Structure 1
């Protein structure tokens, strides 16, 4: 497989950083003034929405900016609660030394994504970062991945995408790239369709070993 791929694109939450608890708490902090609360099932239903739509059905339409501001402020105040998974920085460093193009495609807004990358001292590894606010359709649509490919001038078949969620997989397959399931944040009970996942890894170490055969 060596020499076949030019670009590796990572998802952020659940793939590079362990953010499940902070994301859940941030949404509930944002919803608190409105007497609303969301659980993991509810969060799954709204996580791919745009910032303008993410609180639809939870807060009045003219209040979404206030709710989103609370979401952002909680997330920023708790950056220490979104650490990179052990071994991720070492993998990024190895890829950089091999001159592999590395990009980030996340469903969250660009500003908070950059803050999380900086907090973990891994922001310098990415030649392109695309957030959900930069495209008209967020994951599971491939618009964000398409923007990455356009900016870095790489065709779909030369791209590997690494993500922890079925939305990452669906967008990747629609775009025509290879998808790697990152199951180390949820080793049991992930919702990948194994028929569509090209590869799946339950530990960062196993993923790193596989990468050695690719780049």
Structure 2
């Protein structure tokens, strides 16, 4: 089971630029560091906890969507994801995605980069009222695929991914992208790597012979 943004696709350049553009009329320039502390879950929730009222949130959502649609080519899949998925499919292992991204844009990415045919299940940020680190979405996939927690591996790049996986009893491989991670989170991760490429190599190694 995979997170999407930061794990299978490199969307962070677009995400940071789009959110900064969305809130600029209300907050002025915003640093990448501040954006990192606020991001997580559907954009509406991020804006609701940041901006003043429903009107600003609605305007910010429009600006976010317009910017994202115009600059969508900034999102690119990480090298190696496709060969990983091809090998996992050959090994008859089920693959799924659990993402905080809303379903509309997630499905666009699945279609654009031909990810969809590999997936046996998907839970998006607007499918449930709960959001990471609540493990409900992860548990839904485990149940849908008729697995036990011991049968599953979750791969993500955020602290909330690790916390959700730990709460669900699912081993979680954390991609840290060179950032500092709290020790309490690190202790709950199954393994920690720096890049998606390292994560893909680790998965191939650990599933060899299955």
Normalising by the smaller structure, the TM-score range is: 0.7 to 0.9
Listed one character per residue, the Cα deviations across residues 9-38 of structure 1 (whole Å, up to 9, x for unaligned) are: 101111111111100111122223334443
Task: Give the TM-score, by structure 1 length.
Answer: 0.84
Q: Post-superposition shift, 1:103?
A: 0.5
Distance (Å, rounded) in 2 between the aligned partners of 1:75 and 1:198: 34
Name 2:17's counterpart in structure 1: 25
More helix by share: 2
Distance (Å, rounded) in 2 between the aligned partners of 1:103 and 1:163: 12
Task: Give the TM-score, by structure 2 length.
Answer: 0.86
Picking from 81, 84, 96, the partner of 1:88 is 81
Pair 1:125-2:115 in alignment = no
Matched position secondary structure for 2:129: coil
Matched position secondary structure for 2:46: coil
Unaligned runs of 5+ in 1: 1-8
RMSD across aligned C-alpha pairs, in angstroms? 2.1
Cα contact 1:79–1:116 (8 A) shared by 2: no
Name 2:193's counterpart in structure 1: 201
Deviates more, 1:163-172 or 1:77-86: 77-86
Distance (Å, rounded) in 1 between the aligned partners of 2:20 and 2:199: 33
Change (3 A) 1:181 1:172: same
Distance (Å, rounded) in 1 between the aligned partners of 2:134 and 2:56: 26
Pair 1:191-2:184 in alignment = no
Cα contact 1:165–1:191 (8 A) shared by 2: no
Picking from 28, 47, 51, the partner of 1:55 is 47
Alignment of 1:1-215 (within 5 A): 9-56=1-48, 57-183=50-176, 186=177, 188-191=178-181, 193-210=185-202, 211-214=204-207, 215=210
Listed one character per residue, the Cα deviations across residues 18-75 of structure 1 (whole Å, up to 9, x for unaligned) are: 1111001111222233344433333233322444322123242234233223222322
Displaced runs of 4+ in structure 1, greater than 6 A?
none
Q: Post-superposition shift, 1:202?
A: 2.6
**How many residues are aligned here?**
204
Q: Which has the higher contact order (CA 8 A, sep 6+)?
A: 1
